[in-house]
Amino acid sequence: MRLPTWLAQHLAALRALLVFTVLLGLAYPLALVAAGRLPGLAAGADGSLVAAGGRTVGSALIGQSFTDADGNPVPRYFQSRPSAAGDGYDPTSTAASNLGPESIVDTLAADPAESTESLLTQVCARSRAIGRLDGVDGRRPYCTADGVGAVLGVFHRDGLTGPVTRVVSVNQAAPATPFVTTWQGVPVEPARPGVDHVAAGAVIVPVRGDAPAEPAVPADAVTASGSGLDPHISPAYAEIQVARVARERGADPAAVRRLVAAHTTGRALGFLGAPGVNVLELNLALDQRFAAR
């Protein structure tokens, strides 16, 4: 009996798929898993696990939060970048923030639990907190002194044009004091939670302020990475943390700085990627060299 052509073709398709599934879906990956047992490949294939004191404490490629149970930084450790993976550095829930470059207006709900912070406010808050923790200037352009985005909602008489009638500092709810007192002669009011000023017709104006263009807190310290698992910080971010870590451990800052240098990788071949400090490996080395007081 001859099968109809269309059926024969689908049968051939099914057989082809099964052949390729066995070949490419089983033989190929399993052979690679076997190759991953070879010395030289095994450590990487297993996840570059790092042990300390006889137990596995993480992976050299996966970052960790060095915070206490309440999420506050543990000062004797170098701190990682902010992370959007789960509650921070959760490998079962890798993610970026996905907030855009003009995410600058917070949603201030009547119930603070329902408020959401814009990316700008997150950046400003992190910068301020790190500035305090590490004793450096935490100011940034477009940030208020109390660590939110310096953004005004400006109402004009005729919508987009005409004289200014009312100005709101949209990310600062009362009792906060607006970061400027007047704008084009009009007094600035704090935002009222639960009110959508953009929908009400406000023109959104970010205000740069007088912060230095190159803030003391480096860029990687105030931004979340793409994976949420970034194992590195920039050498600049490590540098501003040296004094604090040395003080907490009663160590010589120069010795801590040498340890940072030992865990800094430069650009591969001199031009690939960017220099980075592996935070977990650095902190492990610190624990070995300078036990915390």
Partner 1 sequence: MTMTTAGVLFILSLVVALVAVHKPFGDHLYRVVSGTRHSRVERGVYRLVGVDPSAGQAWGVYARAVLAFSAVSILFLYAFQRLQNHLWLSLGFDPVVPHGAWNTAVSFVTNTNWQWYSGESTMGHLVQMAGLAVQNFVSAAVGIAVAVALVRGFARSRTGDLGNFWVDLTRITLRVLLPVSVLGALALMAGGVVQNLSAGTDVTTLTGAAQTITGGPVAGQEVIKELGTNGGGFYNANSAHPFENPTAWTNWLEIFLILLIPFSLPRVFGRIVGQHRQGYAVAAVMAVLAVASVALTNVFELTGHGTVPQAVGAALEGKEVRFDVSNSATFAAATTLTSTGAVNSFHDSYTAFGGMMPLVNMMLGEVAPGGVGAGLYGLLILAVITVFVAGLMVGRTPEYVGKKIGSREIKFASLYFLVTPALVLTGTAAAFATGNAATALNAGPHGLSEVLYAFTSASNNNGSAFAGITVNTPWWNTALGLCMLLGRFLPIIFVLALAGSLARQAPTPASEGTLPTHRPLFVGMVVGVTVILVALTFLPALALGPLAEGL
Regarding 220 and contact with partner 1 (CB under 8 A), the answer is yes
Among 85, 191, 256, 260, binds partner 1 (CB under 8 A): 85
Among 154, 177, 234, 247, binds partner 1 (CB under 8 A): 234
Binding-residue total with partner 1 (CB under 8 A):
112
Among 39, 55, 113, 175, binds partner 1 (CB under 8 A): 55
DSSP string, 60-101: TTS----B-TTS-B-TTS-------STTTT-GGG-------T
Beta strands in the chain (DSSP E): 49-52, 55-59, 151-158, 161-173, 182-183, 186-191, 203-206, 232-233, 264-265, 276-278
Q: Read off the tokens for 247.
A: 């003080």
Q: How far is the CB of 5 from partner 1 (least distance, A)?
A: 8
Q: Read off the tokens for 163.
A: 């004289």
The residues in 249-278 that bind partner 1, with binding defined as CB under 8 A, are 267-274, 276
Q: How far is the CB of 224 from partner 1 (least distance, A)?
A: 6
Integer Cα distance of 16 and 11 in angstroms: 9
**Contact characters 99-128, partner 1, x per CB under 8 A:** xxxxxxx-------------xx--xx----
Q: How far is the CB of 52 from partner 1 (least distance, A)?
A: 8
| CA triple 124-263-93, angle to 5 deg | 55
Which span (7-15, 185-193, 242-250, 254-262) binds partner 1, by CB under 8 A? 7-15
